[in-house]
Amino acid sequence: MIIRKIDCLKGEIKVPGDKSISHRAIMLGSLAKGKTIISNFLQADDCLATIKCFKQMGITINNDKVNNIVTVLGNGLHGLNKPSDLLNVGNSGTTIRLMSGILSGQKFTSMITGDDSIQSRPMNRVIKPLLQMNADIKSKNNNGCAPLLINGAPNTMDNRSLEGIKYISPVASAQIKSCVLFAGLYANKATSVLEPEISRNHTELMLQSFGGKVYSDSNTVTVEPNPKLIGQELEVPGDISSAAYFIAAAILLPNSEITIKSLGINPTRDGIIEVCRNMGADIGLDNIRYYGSEMVADITIKHSSIKAIEISGEIIPRLIDEIPIIAVLACFAEGQTVIKDAEELKVKESNRIDEMVNNLSKMGADIVSTDDGMIINGGLALKGTNINSKFDHRIAMSFTIAGLMADGDTIIEGYESVNISYPEFYNDILKLRN
């Protein structure tokens, strides 16, 4: 894919449904009794992998792609069947980590894995709390990575359940938290997770709306076991992580003004808006409303000149997936942007600190990596070059936006990775291009 400079972005779009919420809607719909109807589902590879896994366990899921409505016929907490085959999550870290918690509570044995990226990402972060809960889970190759072999049997065959625990998570990770909370549904008593900072809370919100009992108290979330979950009707808000690329492009391209309709602005996800505003960007939120418990708004972004800031601490989990595009923004900000406390970026779909620093340097930016982030001195013009996205969707999209601002051609290798979270990404750029 060759990207060239454009003048500005104008108009209105709706970005696709939120990835995190789409995954959870399939999972909870499968564990609930009755029908769950999901509209504005994210029709992208990661979420389609979740559908496939639950279908393999006997759940009836009808995906009406024309109207974008997914219907799940759940059989209740104990209604999954042993999959006849290996469960394969493709590239989706959320699917494998959250499902590990669910599979640990089943009465059958299962094996779950994914693509090369998944097979090199750390799974001990979920294996450790699950073992504490008395689950029988192990890394098949003993390397702390997938494939994971999960024997639901020893704890549940004799109708004993998992052990409810109070888990102190060393990292602020919604994937770890959600895995433990899902396993907690099958435990003998309440299960709590304490995290160093609050991570995205979609699991807690959705579990509650399906009838689960979940309590949050500052950084601790507690779930009661064995709830009666009932199928729901829900609409998925637009994904703020996908919107971030257009927010950045509209800020950077002179004369731009765009509106993104029905965008999820859950306070555990809205760090990108806060950071852009603190950098001086003109962002307006209108028509603030709720889809169930999820806050939604129409947001308007105008071209703005921006200044550098420091980004660290509690905001990091609220914008963890947006740091690559924030690094692009920082190249155009006046002054030095410092990003700290973001070592988690090293274990995403690729090492996102290395990929951003190496590729933005190739484009002529003044950027260096640190142990837990990066430092960027803004103001140097970017020039087009070849970018190997390492098949990481967020690297491909970030460098596409950088390419819209750069002199010469930017060639994105592995641009097809956008299918993981945003298949219409390039079409949406064309829609807004002026």
Q: Strand ranges (DSSP E) for 29-119?
A: 33-39, 60-64, 69-75, 87-88, 109-113
- Closest by CA to 104, choosing from 125, 131, 76, 79, is 131
Measured from the CB atom, the residue of 36 and 155 that comes closer to ligand S3P is 36
Please choose, out of 52-60, 170-178, 403-411, 425-433, the segment that lies near ligand S3P by the rule CB under 6 A: 170-178
Q: Binding of ligand S3P at residue 321 (CB under 6 A)?
A: yes
Measured from the CB atom, the residue of 320 and 376 that comes closer to ligand S3P is 320
- Here the tokens at position 375 are 């430092």
Rounded Cα gap, residues 260 and 431, in angstroms:
12
- Closest by CA to 234, choosing from 214, 260, 212, 205, is 205
Rounded Cα gap, residues 318 and 22, in angstroms:
18
Least distance from C-beta 347 to ligand S3P, angstroms? 8
Measured from the CB atom, the residue of 247 and 365 that comes closer to ligand S3P is 247
Measured from the CB atom, the residue of 327 and 365 that comes closer to ligand S3P is 327
User: Residues 320, 367, 395, 402: which binds ligand S3P (CB under 6 A)?
Assistant: 320
Q: Binding of ligand S3P at residue 178 (CB under 6 A)?
A: yes
- Closest by CA to 112, choosing from 129, 90, 131, is 90
Rounded Cα gap, residues 171 and 415, in angstroms:
30
Site string for ligand S3P, 206-225 (x = CB under 6 A): --------------------
Residue 265 sits at the vertex; the CA angle it makes with 259 and 266, to the nearest 5 degrees, is 170
Least distance from C-beta 172 to ligand S3P, angstroms? 7
Which one of the listed residues 18, 321, 392, 428 is annotated catalytic?
321
Measured from the CB atom, the residue of 163 and 344 that comes closer to ligand S3P is 344
- The secondary structure element, H or E, covering residue 11 is strand 10-13
Quickly list H helices, 92-151.
Answer: 93-104, 124-132
Least distance from C-beta 246 to ligand S3P, angstroms? 18
* 321 is annotated as an active-site residue: yes
Please choose, out of 105-113, 174-182, 253-261, 270-278, the segment that lies near ligand S3P by the rule CB under 6 A: 174-182
Phi and psi at 297, nearest 5°, equal -150, 165
Classify residue 163 by its DSSP letter.
P
Phi and psi at 387, nearest 5°, equal -120, 120
Least distance from C-beta 205 to ligand S3P, angstroms? 12
Residue type at 18 in one-letter notation = D
Least distance from C-beta 94 to ligand S3P, angstroms? 4
Please choose, out of 139-147, 169-177, 327-335, 380-388, the segment that lies near ligand S3P by the rule CB under 6 A: 169-177
Q: Binding of ligand S3P at residue 112 (CB under 6 A)?
A: no
Q: Binding of ligand S3P at residue 341 (CB under 6 A)?
A: no
> Whose structure tokens read 């990575």?
145
Please give the size of the binding site for ligand S3P, defined by CB under 6 A.
11
> Whose structure tokens read 């808000």?
237
- By CB under 6 A, the residues from 64 to 103 that bind ligand S3P are 94
Q: Binding of ligand S3P at residue 201 (CB under 6 A)?
A: no
Phi and psi at 43, nearest 5°, equal -85, 70
- By CB under 6 A, the residues from 13 to 42 that bind ligand S3P are 20
- Residue in the shown chain whose Cβ atom is closest to ligand S3P: 20
- By CB under 6 A, the residues from 361 to 390 that bind ligand S3P are none
Q: Could you give the count of Cα atoms lying within 13 Å of 45 in the half-sphere of its Cβ?
A: 19
Report helix, strand or coil for 65: coil
Q: Binding of ligand S3P at residue 169 (CB under 6 A)?
A: no
Q: Binding of ligand S3P at residue 344 (CB under 6 A)?
A: yes
Known catalytic residues are 321
Q: Can you give the binding site for ligand S3P, defined by CB under 6 A?
A: 20, 94, 173-175, 178, 199-200, 320-321, 344
